[in-house]
Amino acid sequence: MPDAADNLALRLLDAVHRTRGVDPGIVTDRYRAYRAAQGADAGHDGIRALLRTFEETGGSAQWAGKVGHYRRRYSPEDAPIAADTVELAADVLYRHGVDTVDDLAGTDDTTLADDWQRAGGDPAVWQPLLDALRPARALSGVA
C-alpha cells in the first residue's frame, strides 16, 4: 500500500480533516474502501481521481455521506462540512495542473491563494493547508 506522504489525494484528505479535529485515518480508510470497491487503489490516486469521486457521488454533501466522515448531528444545517473544503481545494489545485505531489512543487503559492479566494475559500485556511500538502523540504547544506 503506497504511503499517503507521496499521494496528494490522501494528503489533502488528511490535511483538511486534521485541521478540523477529525481523525484523518477514518476518512482516508473510508476513501480507500470506496476506491477498492471500484477496483482501484486509492494509494495511486491524484487530485483528478479524488475529484472524480465527488462527481460520482453528486457533490460534497453526498460525498461526505458515502465516502467521508459525515458528522452533522450537532452542527447547524448550513455549517460547512470538511468535504466542501476538500472539493474546493482539489478543484483549485486541478485547475492549476496539479495532480501529484511533484506537480505541487512547481506551483506559485500566490496564484493558488488568489484562485482559492476567488472560488470562495477562506484565506486563513489556504496557507496552512498548502503547507500540510507539501512534503517536508530537505535542509540544504546539512551533512
Query: pLDDT tens, 34-67?
Result: 999 999 999 999 999 999 999 999 999 899 988 9
Task: Give the CA angle between residues 47, 104, 85 to the nearest 5°.
Answer: 50
Q: Parse the chain into domains and list their residue ranges.
A: 4-133
Task: Give the CA angle between residues 88, 112, 8 to the nearest 5°.
Answer: 60
Encode burial over 32-47: b for 16+ CB neighbours within 10 A, e otherwise.
Answer: bebbeeeeeebbebbb
76: its cell numbers = 447547524
**pLDDT tens digits in sequence order for the chain, 143 residues long:** 445 557 899 999 999 988 877 788 889 999 999 999 999 999 999 999 999 999 999 999 899 988 986 555 555 565 568 899 999 999 999 999 999 999 998 899 999 999 999 999 999 999 899 988 987 643 333 33
pTM: 0.86
